[in-house]
Structure 1
């Protein structure tokens, strides 16, 4: 069934002009009528051609927050919560409030665009997850300004911020090499994760640039970036019977899971095997041993995302990307000095 504004008016039992007033956020329509029309618009997935105009001219000062992917990160995730707090604070300074979208009903062919039109958001920040649903790409290609965090967006009104994942991997290999480690392994997330794949590709490139041998048997992948996946991945690595001298985990939580598995098998960190994580979450300072990791500048990522989205909303930029430089944080899990 082809849905247009006339069909929406017929289904709601109102005039076309009433539907138009509701879509353009006029106040001279009863709340009951407004809700009935908006429900029909949502149910039918109707996307009027003037929706971009509506969003541009009737600003709500609302920013949509979307945790993307079929395997989306939790709002309590220690890395993203710091980025989001920084983003929220800066958007508040710029005069905006946040509204969080649930993705549960959109995993199977859902439509974020219609939801954004429904709530008249001025723009969206999209937090990277795993197994990206098509609705995210549709929103990226729409007229609604969007900024991705750890997620490359390509739309004309989109941009993204992330850390330099290739530099992250290069810093890890250089550090391990200078400590005397030559047999290097890797624990990553699922193969659907662009971030994990970038870190792995950078790791391989850095290993090869130092002229080291690459043993793919020491490259293990979990189901996500969380501690249980790191634990399971390290157990599989141990069960193979041959261990590298050092392992780089694509997240701190994966690294902490790997250390737990090593301890259960009577292996010492870093004496038997060194471990490096990525993110520098708060827990890294308090583990035993404390975790050597790569610090992503979470505050800077959040502030950049806020300013980029603000500029997109106000037509002061045409999208783009910022890649933030990471920093190596040396703690106990790699040891110190050259190893024999």
Structure 2
């Protein structure tokens, strides 16, 4: 059943007239009411949701895909990033905005990107892929005073808009899945490559393990590089030392997990019979390996759509609204890589 204006009014606690004024960007409602109505309309997937900025303004949104070191933003994650762009594109199509996509590799000096932003007054706002951006990088973009929303990263203490996955919630789902399957000796395969979401997942691992009351054994915290081949080589070197092995490993993402599973199998370990592995991202390759990988499916399109909606809200107000820091939950995808120890 399609969402109606009355549905939105009931949920937002306003009149249908107020909803009509808000979604058509007409005067007569406060900024707070307009913002609340638009958010409810988005949540209810109201299809006729149209321009959130003045109809006589040409809205051009530019998505910047920026690779700083290439360990995460590479061909293995194109599917992931494309899903963000699909979500953004869908919202742009509904709103009547134009979407431009630009990609920069690690050879492009950041100052060149900033210069282009400052010399492009025709751009309404920017959605910036923050996966490989440092805190300093983000502050540099914020200093341009342009309408910007950062996607796929999250910093609590910077006054800017972020839309990211809820890493803590997702790690909790994975750890409790391990526990429900009888695992209590749970290790972490992390990466020190600079990617904010890696840091947040590592932090979440410690937090969830402590909150649940499980022992954290630092000998079971393994640091590897984030590419498939490097993770494979690093983990194989670790296994060559005949270390203590947990019953389950949480790997910080799918690519790392797949490299480590290959190393385990070559060293004679069976997954999941001898050791279970679960990861994060639900890349297409996660169903192409044996065993198929239990992982977290990130709500990629929803993240893209939400980031776009927040950007248009910023662009549609004379005074910039307070920063929004939005976390969107993911879904646990249970496949074959975790053994149920509770079953004989």
Specify if TM > 0.5. yes
1:64 corresponds to: 62
Structure 1 partner of 2:326? 322
Which residue of structure 2 lines up, in the alignment, with residue 114 of structure 1? Answer: 115
Q: Separation in 2 of the partners of 1:292 and 1:162?
A: 21
TM-score (norm 1): 0.74
Q: CA deviation at 1:69?
A: 5.2
Question: Does the 8 A contact of 1:294 with 1:328 survive in 2?
Answer: yes
Aligned to 2:48: none
**Which residue of 245, 248, 267 maps to 1:243?**
245
The gaps in structure 2 that reach 5 residues or longer are 1-53
Distance 1:64 1:311, change over 3 A: same
Question: Aligned-pair distance for 1:324?
Answer: 0.7
Secondary structure of the residue that 1:299 maps to in structure 2? helix
Distance 2:136 2:325 in 1: 22
State whether structure 2 residue 208 is matched by structure 1 residue 210.
Answer: no
Please tell me whether the aligned partners of residues 245 and 273 of structure 1 are also in contact (alpha carbons under 8 angstroms): yes
Alignment of 1:146-157 (within 5 A): 146-152=148-154
CA distance in 1, matches of 2:233, 2:133: 20
Question: Mean alpha-carbon deviation: is it higher for 187-196 or for 322-331?
Answer: 187-196
Residue matched to 2:223 = 221
Distance between the aligned counterparts of 2:273 and 2:257, measured in 1?
16
Distance in 1 between residues matched to 2:246 and 2:308, nearest whole Å: 41
CA deviations on 1:53-101 (whole Å, 9 max, x unpaired) are xxx9x96633232234521413752322211222123223322221305
What residue is the counterpart of 2:283 in the other structure? 281
- Asked if structure 2 preserves the Cα contact closer than 8 Å seen for 1:64 and 1:101, the reply is no
Q: State the TM-score, normalized to the length of structure 2.
A: 0.74
Q: Decide whether the 8 Å contact of 2:131 with 2:196 is kept in 1.
A: no
Distance across 1 between alignment mates of 2:343 and 2:236 = 24
Distance 1:212 1:99, change over 3 A: closer
CA distance in 1 between counterparts of 2:316 and 2:278 reads 42
Q: Quick one: which of 166, 177, 184 aligns to 1:164?
A: 166
* Deviation of the 1:133 alpha carbon: 7.6
Instruction: Quote the offset at 1:239 in angstroms.
Output: 2.4
1:331 paired with 2:335, answer yes
CA-based RMSD of the aligned residues comes to: 2.6
Change in Cα spacing, 1:104 to 1:210, as seen in structure 2 (3 Å) is: closer
Aligned length: 281
Give the distance between the partners of 1:159 and 1:131, measured in 2 at CA: 14
Further displaced range: 214-223 or 143-152: 214-223
Q: Give the corresponding residue for 1:74.
A: 74
Change (3 A) 1:131 1:220: farther
Answer whether contact 2:67 2:106 (CA < 8 A) is retained: no
CA distance in 1, matches of 2:147, 2:187: 40
Deviation for aligned residue 1:223: 3.0
Shift of 1:317: 4.1
Cα distance in 2 for partners of 1:233, 1:199 equals 20
Summarize the Cα distance change of 1:291–1:200 in structure 2 as closer, same or farther, 3 Å threshold.
same
Q: Which moved more, 1:95-104 or 1:77-86?
A: 95-104
Stretch deviating more after TM superposition (118-127 or 275-284): 118-127
Unmatched 5+ stretches in structure 1: 1-55
Kept in 1, the 8 Å contact 2:66–2:103? The answer is no
Distance 1:99 1:210 in 2: 43
Q: Output the CA distance in 2 between the equivalents of 1:205 and 1:292.
A: 21
Equivalent-residue separation in structure 2 for 1:115 and 1:135 (angstroms): 15
Q: What is the CA distance between 1:106 and its match in structure 2?
A: 4.2
SS at match of 1:334: coil
